[in-house]
Every structure is written in C-alpha cells, then in structure tokens.
C-alpha cells in the first residue's frame, strides 16, 4: 500500500484520482476548505482517504499543509500535482495580444509556480524510487501549438519545461518525474462534450502511476510518449 499525495482533490480529475487510488492505497488530497474535504472523505466506505487544507498559490498555505501532512503519513511515494486553473474567459479564442497580463500571472502562479512550491515542500519527504506526476495538457505542447487560451498554454508549456529540469535534478535521489496529458475529460474545465469521463481518465492515470516500467522526464498521454 503506497502513500499518495494529490493536489486539488475536491473536484474533476483530482476527485476521480482520489476515488481510484484510495481503493487500494493511502491517499491524502488537498482542498481549500474543511467542508470540501470532509464531504469527499465521508462519501467513501473505506478510510484510506484523508485531506489537508492547502492553496498551492500561497507559500505559507503550502508549508502549513505539508506540516499537517507529515502528521498523517511518514513519507510520500507518489506525488500528483493536479491542482490547476483555467480562467473562464480564457478557455475561448482570445488572441494573445488581447489577453490581460493579470490573468497570465494568476494562471502561472497556480499551474506552474504552484507545482514548484509543492515539489519544494514534498521532495524532502520522498524516499528513493518515488514518483512525481505533473498533470499537464496537450494545450501546452509546442508541437502543433494552437491559438487562444494563452495564459493556460504558457503555464502548461512552462510546467513541461520544469518537468524536464526536475527529472534530471532529482535523479540523484532516485525520484522520477513526468508530465502527462489526461486527455479531453468531461469536467468543468474540459466541458461536457469531452471524449472521456473522469473515471476513464483517472483509471488511465492510476495505471500509469503504478506501472513497473515508469519512465523519467517524459510527456505522455494514456501511456504513450508525446513530443514536447
């Protein structure tokens, strides 16, 4: 039974991941208020899931959340950086030159810098042969990059770059790091015309996370390596 830490576990893919992993493993997930966490934990018949309060956009909140985490588990085997935002107006075809800078900075603070905050706080708490999975997006893929949603695209492209850097820097600690695209999923962010259900996406991510043949420094979708 592994200890798995998932950020942004109160809805969408994050909640789906908590549900899938907690069937057989210890899962601690982050929420931004106690009511969200309690509601999710109470919805399970088992007691393998617990939560900590954490806002990945604020350093103090991350530090406080990790202190609480350390009181619950001795180490983290798998870290899944799932928490992320897509500012509603930016999911449409807004041109880059019409995108306000505040939206770019807010998105970067959560989707990119937020992941770094969590990695900085959690990696000292991880043992050799641990794993980090950053939930990225095909919208951040440089090959075939499209238009619109500039803030979100940039934040995920930068996240992919950080994945490459961390995958090399953490090799000495035997911690592997990958980015994955979860696919187009029926969530508030993905919309309900999407191809995959939350359960289907979460099951695919779980299979990858637990695979004996876990790569390092790659960008993948459903186990298939993608060009950056």
CATH number for the domain that contains residue 95: 3.40.50.720
pTM of the predicted model as reported, rounded to 2 decimal places: 0.94
Residue 6 has pLDDT above 70, yes or no: yes
DSSP track, 1-13: --EEEESS-SSHH
Q: Give the model's pLDDT for residue 211.
A: 97
Domain that holds residue 213: 3-225
The distance of Cα 112 from the centroid of its chain, to the nearest Å, equals: 10
List Cα–Cα distances, 140 to 144, 154, 193, in angstroms. Answer: 10, 6, 20
The two structure tokens encoding residue 217: 């420094």
The pLDDT score that the predictor gives to residue 87 is 87
| pLDDT score of 187 more than 80 | no
**% of the chain exceeding 90 in pLDDT:** 81
Mean pLDDT calculated for residue range 71-94: 89
Give me 186's structure tokens.
């029926």
Q: Residue 151 burial by CB count (10 A; 0-12/13-18/19+): exposed, middle or buried?
A: buried
119: pLDDT confidence band, cut at 50, 70 and 90? Answer: very high
| Confidence (pLDDT) at 88 | 79
Mean pLDDT estimate for the chain: 92
Confidence of residue 200 (pLDDT cuts 50, 70, 90): confident
pLDDT attached to residue 41: 93
Question: CB of 227 within 8 A of CB of 188?
Answer: no
Instruction: Say if residue 185's pLDDT is above 80.
Output: no
DSSP string, 147-172: SS-HHHHHHHHHHHHHHHHHHHHTGG
Mean pLDDT of 3-30: 94
Q: State how far the Cα of 158 lies from the Cα of 135, in Å rounded to an integer.
A: 12
Residues 159 and 205 sit within 8 Å (Cβ to Cβ): no
Report percent pLDDT > 70 for the chain. 93
DSSP 53-109: E--TT-HHHHHHHHHHHHTT-S-EEEEEE------GGGGS---GGGS-HHHHHHHHH
| pLDDT surpasses 90 at 136 | yes
pLDDT at 226 over 90: yes
- What's residue 17's pLDDT? 95
For the chain, how many structural domains are there in total? 1
């Amino acid at each position: 039974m592994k200890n798995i830490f998932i950020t942004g576990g109160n809805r969408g893919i994050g909640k789906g991941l908590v549900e899938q992993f907690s069937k057989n493993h210890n899962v601690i997930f982050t929420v931004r208020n106690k009511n969200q966490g309690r509601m999710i934990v109470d919805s399970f018949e088992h007691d393998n899931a617990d939560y900590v309060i954490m806002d990945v956009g604020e350093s103090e909140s991350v530090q406080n959340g990790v202190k609480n985490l350390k009181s619950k588990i001795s180490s983290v085997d798998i870290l899944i950086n799932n928490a992320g935002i897509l500012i509603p107006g930016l999911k449409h075809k807004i041109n880059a030159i019409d995108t306000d800078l505040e939206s770019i900075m807010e998105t970067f603070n959560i989707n990119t810098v937020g992941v770094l905050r969590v990695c900085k706080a959690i990696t000292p708490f991880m043992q050799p042969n641990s794993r980090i999975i950053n939930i990225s997006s095909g919208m951040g893929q440089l090959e075939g990059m499209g238009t619109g949603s500039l803030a979100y695209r940039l934040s995920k492209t930068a996240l992919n770059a950080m994945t490459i850097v961390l995958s090399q820097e953490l090799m000495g600690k035997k911690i592997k790091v990958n980015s994955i695209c979860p696919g187009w999923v029926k969530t508030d962010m993905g919309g309900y015309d999407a191809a995959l259900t939350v359960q289907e996406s979460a099951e695919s991510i779980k299979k990858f996370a637990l695979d004996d043949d876990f790569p390092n420094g790659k960008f993948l979708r459903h186990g298939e390596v993608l060009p950056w």
